[in-house]
Amino acid sequence: MNVNQQTVISDELCERFRRARRVFVLTGAGVSAESGVPTFRGGGQTAAWKGMPFDKISSAGMLERNLPEVWEWFNYRRDVIEKIEPNAAHHAIARWQQRFPDFTLVTQNVDGLHEAAGSKDVIELHGNIWRARCISCGAKYNLRDKERAAARDFTCAECGNYLRPDVVLFGEMLPVGALDRAVVKAKSAELCFVVGTSALVYPAAGFPEIAKAVGAYIVEINPEPTPLSDLCDEVIQGKAGEILPLF
């Protein structure tokens, strides 16, 4: 389908985009789909590892029972993502950061592709697959550090305890700082984009509701309808990598 601006973006949205100063963007796995990162849901199947559903292998319970298995899953995901480039959607969002005086990007993704596309100060609700942290002293390590990643050395240099992926696992709380910052920004947004999320996981799916409550104009970009679609002022059914560059 030939996607052009006239066909998908209303005059109202064009005007609001032109005038906006405070813009809030929430992204999910769908924004990385065109880069080749499998989504968790959507398209009918859910991701699995060695026959284990992703929400089992990526859980606090699994971390307690079998940390090496959790690392194997996250090493596999990092190896996959390492070969992947950000797509046109990531690049468009990075450009928006330069355009709007008050721009907030909140992502549920742990793939680091927004940063790879040049986005700064991204609010990472669910952590980042390129970081590890000590389960005891909390010291953080950059896994883009080839030596450490290659050595698969997951012990803390500070206290000698085990490192774990610095990712929010199922059954775990979100990093408080990230959550608070996102709520504050959602409460002052004029224009809110919801891109590539099934809007099934809270508190992330709650931010557009917070923005709506303060009068923000809500735009969803997703090939499929979601539980948030009815709340939105505009729903653009399409792929993020095709739609976002049109703005």
What is the spatial distance between Cα 26 and Cα 189, in angstroms, rounded to a whole number?
12
Provide the 3-class DSSP secondary structure of residue 137: coil
Q: Which residues contact ligand APR by CB under 6 A?
A: 28-30, 33-34, 39-42, 108, 126, 196-198, 200-201, 221-224, 226, 239-241
Alpha helices by DSSP H, the chain: 5-8, 11-19, 30-33, 54-57, 60-65, 67-82, 88-99, 113-116, 146-151, 176-186, 207-213, 240-243
Task: Give the shortest CB-214-to-ligand APR separation in angstroms.
Answer: 23
The residues carrying an active-site annotation are 126
Shorter beta-carbon distance to ligand APR: residue 156 or 198: 198
Amino acid residing at 21: R
Which residue lies nearer to ligand APR by CB, 156 or 239?
A: 239
Q: How far is the CB of 120 from ligand APR (least distance, A)?
A: 21
Toward ligand APR, which CB reaches closer, 9 or 221?
A: 221
Q: Nearest approach, Cβ of 137 to ligand APR (angstroms)? A: 25
Q: What gap in Å lies between CA 123 and CA 152, rounded to an integer?
A: 27
Structure-block tokens of residue 179: 């959550």
